[in-house]
Amino acid sequence: MSLIELSQTLYDSELGTALRESVYMFPIIEGLHLIGLAVSVGLLFFVDLRLLGLFLPQLSVAQVLHPLRPWLLGGFMLTFATGILLFVAAASKIITLPVFFYKLGFIALAGVNALWFELKWGRDVDAWGAGPALPATVRLAGFTSLTLWSLTIIAGRLIPYLSYQ
């Protein structure tokens, strides 16, 4: 089964049709998606700005990161779950848009950046994260995260506009 056939099957499924045709469900899911995005990426921006030394330099990275981490992960889980439902509701239209694949690519790269940061630096944040000037690769990870999540949001916002052309 090709990707186009799979997307059409999802679009035509009972779930896809119910989500798409519901007066309330699609807007509720889209709203939850945006709330999850605001929580996860919004809080991640604070962490990334701290990694760059531009936000709360008087606090250690751990003091910024640790209390936000559960909220970040919860927001990402909400965004991921609702994103799948939004895709199912409009799969056959979205799959034809190159910007959708750019969005997925930016998400994948942001995930790789986050994984690299966690494996290389995240476990020892107490050891290196107290000063205002952080290691160059930590600052690079913060800058990369800011860039990739910004591109993800831009690509995601383009989807509804480009799907009606």
What pLDDT, on the 0 to 100 scale, is given for residue 161? 87
Res. 149 pLDDT band, cuts 50 70 90 = very high
pTM assigned to the model: 0.90
What pLDDT, on the 0 to 100 scale, is given for residue 110? 97
Res. 164 pLDDT band, cuts 50 70 90 = low
DSSP state letters, the chain: --HHHHHHHHHHSHHHHHHHH-TTHHHHHHHHHHHHHHHHHHHHHHHHHHHTT-S-TTS-HHHHHHHHHHHHHHHHHHHHHHHHHHHHHHHHHHTT-HHHHHHHHHHHHHHHHHHHHHHHTGGGHHHHTTSSS--HHHHHHHHHHHHHHHHHHHHHHHHHHHTT-
What pLDDT, on the 0 to 100 scale, is given for residue 160? 86
Contact 156, 103 (CB under 8 A): yes
Mean of pLDDT values over 136-155: 96
Res. 45 pLDDT band, cuts 50 70 90 = very high
Q: Is the pLDDT of residue 41 over 90?
A: yes
What pLDDT, on the 0 to 100 scale, is given for residue 162? 86
Tokens at 39, concatenated: 């929580």
Q: What percent of the chain has pLDDT over 90?
A: 81
Q: What is the pLDDT of residues 67-120, one digit of tens each?
A: 999 999 999 999 999 999 999 999 999 999 999 999 999 999 999 999 999 999
128 C-beta neighbours (distance < 10 Å), count: 14
Angle between helices 61-94 and 3-12 (to 10 degrees): 90
What pLDDT, on the 0 to 100 scale, is given for residue 35? 97
- Poorest-confidence range of 28-37, 39-48, 55-64, 123-132? 123-132
Q: Is the pLDDT of residue 44 over 60?
A: yes
Tell me the chain's radius of gyration from C-alpha atoms: 18
